[in-house]
Structures are given as structure tokens and as C-alpha cells.
Structure 1
Amino acid sequence: MSDQYGTYGDVVLYYDSGSAWNCAVLVKRSSFVFYGMATNMYITMNNSAYDDNHTKNNFDSDSGMYKYYAGPVRVYGKNMCIWIKGGIADISGPNADYWNYIVRDVTQVACG
């Protein structure tokens, strides 16, 4: 995730071909000024079946005040595309604004 202040973090995606599950985390980069300090972060992931079937296997999310990463989140992915969205707040502390995120949409990360 990048903005005018530099690079904040990365989405890391894992896939288990044996079980067909996708797993992802949003990790702060060590160069981010708030690395190691709690900031609001979130990550969501869904598969292409989510629009028709809103079950846990098709959608997962995690959010909160984290020092290093948000997640993991996981969805089933056999013969489906997945979407990931994440955000990292660029402010720390108890008054951090939940809406003050640097957001990145990653569309159709993996299709298979």
C-alpha cells in the first residue's frame, strides 16, 4: 500500500492446493513510521460465490488496532476468483480515526 508518505504494507496471500483454501494477511512494512505501534488495520477477503451465498466459507474479515499485521483471513477457492481489500491507518493512538485509512483494492487476486 502506497501513498504520498511512502509505503505502508503488503498483502500476503497463501493458497493450499490440497484443501483449496486461500489465506491472507496485511503486514506493515518495517519502514512504515508506525511499524510496531498499534494502528487501525483491516483486511477482507471474499470469493466469487459470495454474491450468491453469504456463508463463512465465502467471506472473512479482520480489523482492530494492530502493531504488525491484520488477519489471517481465509476463504475457499477451488474454481473461483478471490478479492482482497485492506487498509492501514496513518495515525496511531487511542484517538485514531477508523475512516483515515490508506486503502487498496486487490481484484481477482487468484482465479482457478
Structure 2
Amino acid sequence: MSLRTRIGAVLASAVVASGLVVAVPGTANAGAYGCAGKFIKSWPVHSMWRTLGDVRLYYNPKTKTSCAVVVKRKAYRDKKTSMSVRLYNQTWAGDNSNKYNVDTDSGKFKHYAGPVKVRGKSSKGKKYKVTIWADISYGGERGRRDVSGVWSH
């Protein structure tokens, strides 16, 4: 082993032993927001003057569950503000008594609202219709986004 290799190994061991290892945060994924499964699509949430955040939709084929979150853009994560997200499965509307087809999260959040989850069941195969309503308030402005559609999973 060369001197350079030995010095590198000793320095690496010292850094690990001293606890100076810094974890670098990765990009946000589905699990980061409490949604498991495949990312399907996102839509911006606009106020009159700016884009405050994004609505993100995920689908887990193992559990046949759709999941949505509304996430503030980085510039607006400095304080808790009113946010809400609601997800509704229009294809399977007959099971509201078991709360499988509608879910809502609202309150004051710094980063994101959700996750909200609904189960899917459709005679159309792998597709069913969902509607998402999302709101973000910040600095006297309110952004709202409503999306509805059928997406392939």
C-alpha cells in the first residue's frame, strides 16, 4: 500500500470516528412526503402573482392507492401558512362510508400538506378518475389548483 493510500485511509477513518460525516440531502422522493409508489404527475399552484408550490400525484400499484401532496416552493418555506390538499376518487365513489375514496389534510404547514390517499378500483383496468384540490396561502396571497383526470399507472 502506497503512502498516499495509507494517509487517505487514516484521514477517512479519523473523519468517520470524529462524527464529522455530513449527510447531503437528496432530492425529494415519494417516500419523503409519505407517499409510496410511482410519481405520476405534478401541477403548479399559482396565486395571482407567483407560483407558491406544486401538487404531486403518486400511485402505488401494490396497494392500488393514489396519494397526493401539495408542496411549497423553497422560497416560501420560511414560515407556517395555511395549506390544504384533498384527493377524491371519482370512479369508486360508492364507498365513501369506508373513507376509501376521499381524504383531506389541512392546517398550517411550513413545507407541505398531505399525504392524502384514496384506494382505486375501476372496471377500466389500470385507470380511474381522481380529482385533487389544493390551496396555499402566503403573504396575503392565495394559490389554488384543482385538477381532475384519468392517468395511466
Same-fold call, TM cutoff 0.5: yes
Using the alignment, how far apart are the partners of 2:104 and 2:51 within structure 1?
A: 22
Residue 5 of structure 1, CA deviation: 2.1
* Structure 2 residue aligned with 1:26: 70
5+ residue gaps, structure 2, are 1-44, 123-127
TM-score w.r.t. structure 2 length?
A: 0.60
User: Given residue 110 of structure 2, which amino acid in structure 1 is its aligned partner?
Assistant: K
Deviations 1:48-87 (A, max 9, x none): 123x332311000000000000000000123221111000
The size of the alignment, in residue pairs, is: 102
User: After TM superposition, what 4+ stretches of structure 1 lie above 6 angstroms from structure 2?
Assistant: none
TM-score w.r.t. structure 1 length?
A: 0.80
Query: Would the aligned equivalents of 1:62 and 1:72 in 2 still touch at CA under 8 Å?
Result: yes
Using the alignment, how far apart are the partners of 1:54 and 1:78 within structure 2?
A: 13
Counterpart of 1:102 (choices 143, 146, 150) is 143
Counterpart of 1:74 (choices 89, 99, 117) is 117
Aligned-residue CA RMSD (Å)? 1.9
Using the alignment, how far apart are the partners of 1:16 and 1:110 within structure 2?
A: 13
Structure with the bigger RCO (C-alpha within 8 Å, sep 6+) is: 1
* Structure 2 residue aligned with 1:64: 107
Using the alignment, how far apart are the partners of 2:105 and 2:147 within structure 1?
A: 16
Deviations 1:15-57 (A, max 9, x none): 01121101111000113xx32310000000010123x332311
- How do 1:36-75 residues align onto structure 2 when only pairs under 5 Å count? 36-48=78-90, 49-50=92-93, 52-55=94-97, 56-75=99-118
Using the alignment, how far apart are the partners of 2:134 and 2:118 within structure 1?
A: 15
Larger Rg: 2
Q: Does 1:35 align with 2:77?
A: yes
Using the alignment, how far apart are the partners of 1:41 and 1:109 within structure 2?
A: 25
Q: Which has the higher strand share?
A: 1
